[in-house]
Amino acid sequence: MTQQCDARLPQARVKLADYTTWRVGGAAEWLAEPASLEETQAWIEWAAHQGMPCRVIGAGSNLLIHDDGLPGLSLCLRKLQGLQLDATTGTVEVLAGEPIPSLARRAARAGLHGLEWSVGIPGTAGGAAVMNAGAQGGCTAEWLESVRVMPIEGGNCFELQRDQLDFAYRHSRLQDDNLVVLSARFRLQPGHDPDELKRVTTANLSHRTTTQPYQQPSCGSVFRNPEPLKAGRLIEEQGLKGTRIGGAEISTVHANFIVNTGDAEAKDIAQLIQLVQDRIESEHGIRLHPEVKRLGFASAA
């Protein structure tokens, strides 16, 4: 596979707005969409050999990419899908690009309890591990057993166990280390009634779709909750729902969402994020920290 990658180039000057759920962002200098572990490793090694930066964009569901785009190789893992589950032991092996909703549904159908909360998260298994994604009282760290990773600059793959990942609220060491998640292993609870799990999963999805602006492009929740307070409530109390900059708007449905009303640019969203941070800090002395990862920006504060 390495020889194949060396013999051809990834796609050049690809508009990254088509690869993010916000539908904003400039062009990637180079873009690769591997569909196997071998291809993923080969493209990482290709970028390292070329001496260029390599960034993983996954499903693009938790990213704000600068309007000027990204230099080097952008590695989109949304085609790196596949999972194997053992209904007896509860073990689920999943490739990094597997969508979280499909993982949650497959687990429920197999009678495996643990991921019902995750069905509405528009991300991938790899992204969930990196961000310690969570919703409705559940989080990835509760059920993740280990991840298989590779250094972004190339090198040998290795495994990290849950106790090595430094999990905290919406955080893991994977956000700080230059590692690419290739696959993950979850340990769920076997032996549950599939019909009941499917009912709970469907109810969780229905709750999310009726209380959040799922019909408009967004990244999901923008800010981490400053526990025990809720970011959405703090923003709403400041009367910021419906506030617009360019084509970006603080959702009128849920204040912790910023939506693209149709013609937003990354700079509009970045300015709204800054506006919210400044207002909440001024009024409450609390600095809200974004969940969303910003690529190509000088500062991610």
E strand intervals along the chain = 11-15, 27-32, 54-56, 63-65, 70-75, 83-85, 91-95, 134-135, 138-139, 144-151, 158-161, 179-187, 244-245, 248-250, 258-260, 293-295
| pLDDT reported for residue 30 | 97
Q: Are 144 and 129 in contact (CB under 8 A)?
A: yes
Q: Are 98 and 81 in contact (CB under 8 A)?
A: yes
* Greatest Cα-to-Cα distance within the chain, rounded to the nearest angstrom: 58
- Tell me the pLDDT tens digit for each residue of 232-244: 999 999 999 999 9
213-295 maps to which CATH number?
3.90.78.10
- Tell me the pLDDT tens digit for each residue of 189-240: 999 999 999 999 999 999 988 999 988 999 999 999 999 999 999 999 999 9
Distance CA 105, CA 108 (A): 5
What three-state secondary structure class fits 24?
coil
| pLDDT reported for residue 256 | 97
pTM for the full model?
0.91
| pLDDT reported for residue 1 | 41
**Local confidence band at 8 (pLDDT 50, 70, 90 cut-offs):** low
| pLDDT reported for residue 9 | 78
Active site positions, annotated: 170, 221, 291
What is the DSSP code (8-state) at residue 171? B
Phi-psi map region of 84: left, alpha, beta (phi>0 left; psi -120 to 50 alpha): beta
Q: How many residues does the chain have?
A: 301
Mean pLDDT of the region 68-89:
96
Angle (CA) 198-204-205 rounded to 5° is 90
- CB count within 10 Å of CB 278 equals 12
- Which residue, among 140, 114, 143, has the nearest Cα to 127 in the 3D structure? 140
Pick the CATH number of 83-210 from 3.30.465.10, 3.40.720.10, 3.30.70.2860, 3.40.30.10: 3.30.465.10
2-75 maps to which CATH number?
3.30.43.10
Mean pLDDT of the region 70-99:
97
Mean pLDDT of the region 41-67:
94
What are the residue ranges spanned by the domains of the chain? 2-75, 83-210, 213-295
Distance CA 232, CA 256 (A): 4
Distance CA 190, CA 88 (A): 6
Which DSSP string do the residues of 120-136 spell out, in sequence order? T--SBHHHHHHHT-EET
Angle (CA) 55-58-61 rounded to 5° is 115
